């Protein structure tokens, strides 16, 4: 207990008790509270900077675990990406080649990425670079996996339709040519028989007497029957067969037709007869193969009726003739 203080009063010649005013008491209390509060704040700052609470330790461990999981996830995504790339290469270079289908362009597989930043809402997070990169990889993989799945749906449909496709591809010669003696001018630049200038010959010529049967080289539909015997230019009497799967064949300089427009034909059906109509200088058949709207070399499609040795001989014969018959 604090001692009571007294002061001598010379006027009264007595000791009087000394009291503390309310203002002084209030000042001392405020000073004490301020000092205590400042000390408490200092202690809290020191504690928070140098000591960790159990909760902060748990959060730190959790963050570290999450960071490790992101890194592992990123490695797994890289491995999945490698597998998907291999599947895409097999799809484009094996499966689609087998079924005569065009590969999927890289611009289609990678479409929809880049440009606008779709990950700005993640950039204010801790380790945002890793999080954004992982999110971007997942989005890219999801899009590419979807495109690949649709591609396999197409490949499956082509596989189920393989028998029809193989029967439709123009795979035989359009005239009976077992000894190959009817092989005339082939694909490439040749001297035009009338104009005597070097021109591209978009097909193959087969010499044969007028009236020799002409065969459809694959299953399909006759889509054009045109021309005139009296015409002395162009293809003369001409047939076009649509085989589907991007293939069309043209048979020109005919003497007569054996089919009508819209008629379904099978490989080996007689569709017309060799003639000498149009811009032809001798009886022969001019034969073309078109793939996806462009003329292609017919000699690549005689795999159904020629042995490798016969094929090489046919190529040599057609290449040695420097002038066409039309």
What CATH number did the domain enclosing 311 receive? 2.70.70.10
Q: Is the pLDDT of residue 208 over 80?
A: yes
40 and 61 inside one domain? no
Residue, of 195 and 175, whose pLDDT is higher: 175
Whole-angstrom distance, CA of residue 223 vs CA of residue 220:
9
Q: What percent of the chain has pLDDT over 70?
A: 83
110: in domain: yes
The whole-number pLDDT of residue 132 equals 74
Using the predicted structure, report yes or no on whether residue 323 has a pLDDT greater than 70. no
Whether 129 and 108 map to the same domain: the answer is yes
The reply to whether 254 falls in a domain is yes
Q: Is residue 276 part of a domain?
A: yes
Q: Are 259 and 272 in contact (CB under 8 A)?
A: yes
Residue range(s) defining the domain that contains residue 41 = 6-50
Residues 197, 199, 200, CA angle at the centre, nearest 5°?
A: 170
- Cα Dmax for the chain: 163
Per-residue pLDDT reduced to its tens digit, 102-154? 788 887 877 766 555 666 656 666 666 777 777 778 888 888 888 888 888 88
Same domain, 197 and 305: yes
Strand ranges inside the chain, DSSP E = 6-9, 14-17, 188-191, 198-201, 204-207, 213-215, 220-226, 237-244, 247-257, 264-265, 270-274, 284-291, 294-296
Domain count, the chain: 3
Q: What is the pLDDT of residue 120?
A: 66
| Higher-confidence position of 44 and 30 | 30
Nearest to 104 by CA among 86, 115, 118, 89: 89
- Does 155 share its domain with 112? yes
Summarised one tens digit per residue, pLDDT across range 157-179 is: 877 888 888 889 998 989 988 77
Is 251 buried (19+), middle (13-18) or exposed (0-12) by CB count in 10 A? buried
Q: For residue 263, what pLDDT is reported?
A: 96
User: Is the model more confident about 252 or about 124?
Assistant: 252
User: Are residue 218 and residue 280 in the same domain, yes or no?
Assistant: yes
Pair (40, 108) in one structural domain:
no
Question: Coil, strand or helix: which one is 79?
Answer: helix
One domain, residues 201 and 132: no
pLDDT at residue 320, rounded to an integer: 63
Q: Which of the two residues, 223 and 57, has the higher pLDDT score?
A: 223
CB 258 within 8 A of CB 271: yes
Same domain, residue pair 87 and 134 = yes
Question: 156 and 60 in one domain?
Answer: yes
- Co-location of 199 and 276 in the same domain: yes
146 and 45 within one domain: no
Mean of all residue pLDDT scores within the chain: 81
Which residues are within 8 A (CB) of 321 and not within 5 positions of it... i.e. 6 or more apart? 184, 185, 186, 190
pLDDT value at position 102? 79
Q: In which residue are the tokens 């043209």 written?
A: 250
Inside any domain, residue 117: yes
**274 within domain boundaries:** yes
Instruction: Establish if 177 belongs to a structural domain.
Output: no
Asked whether residue 17 falls in the same domain as residue 127, the answer is no
Spatial CB neighbours of 223, under 8 Å, sequence gap ≥ 6: 240, 241, 242, 248, 261, 262
Tokens linked to 81: 């990406």
269, part of any domain: yes
Is 326 within a domain? no
> Is the distance from CB of 226 to CB of 208 less than 8 angstroms?
no
């Amino acid at each position: 207990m604090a001692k009571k203080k007294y002061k001598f009063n010379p006027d009264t010649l007595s000791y009087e008790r000394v009291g503390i005013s309310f203002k002084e008491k209030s000042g001392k209390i405020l000073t004490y509270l301020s000092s205590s509060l400042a000390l408490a704040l200092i202690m809290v700052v020191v504690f928070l900077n140098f000591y960790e609470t159990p909760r902060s330790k748990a959060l730190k461990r959790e963050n570290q675990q999450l960071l490790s999981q992101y890194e592992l996830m990123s490695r797994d995504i890289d491995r999945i990406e490698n597998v998907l790339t291999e599947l895409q290469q097999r799809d484009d270079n094996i499966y689609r080649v087998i079924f005569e289908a065009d590969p999927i362009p890289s611009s289609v597989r990678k479409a929809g990425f880049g440009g606008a930043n779709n990950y700005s809402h993640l950039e204010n997070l801790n380790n945002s670079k890793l999080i954004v990169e992982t999110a971007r990889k997942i989005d890219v993989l999801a899009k590419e996996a979807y495109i690949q799945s649709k591609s396999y749906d197409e490949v499956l449909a082509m596989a189920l339709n393989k028998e029809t496709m193989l029967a439709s591809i123009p795979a035989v010669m359009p005239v009976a040519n077992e000894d190959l003696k009817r092989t005339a001018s082939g694909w490439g630049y040749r001297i035009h028989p009338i104009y005597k200038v070097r021109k591209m010959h978009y097909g193959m010529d087969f010499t044969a007497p007028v009236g020799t049967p002409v065969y459809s080289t694959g299953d399909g539909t006759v889509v054009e029957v045109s021309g005139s015997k009296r015409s002395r230019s162009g293809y003369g009497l001409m047939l076009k067969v649509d085989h589907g799967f991007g293939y069309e064949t043209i048979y020109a300089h005919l003497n007569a037709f054996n089919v009508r427009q819209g008629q379904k034909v099978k490989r080996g059906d007689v569709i017309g007869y060799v003639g000498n109509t149009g811009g032809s200088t001798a009886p022969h058949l001019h034969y073309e193969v078109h793939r996806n709207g462009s003329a292609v070399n017919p000699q690549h499609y005689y795999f159904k009726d020629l042995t490798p040795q016969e094929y090489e001989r046919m190529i040599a014969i057609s290449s040695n003739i420097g002038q066409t018959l039309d």
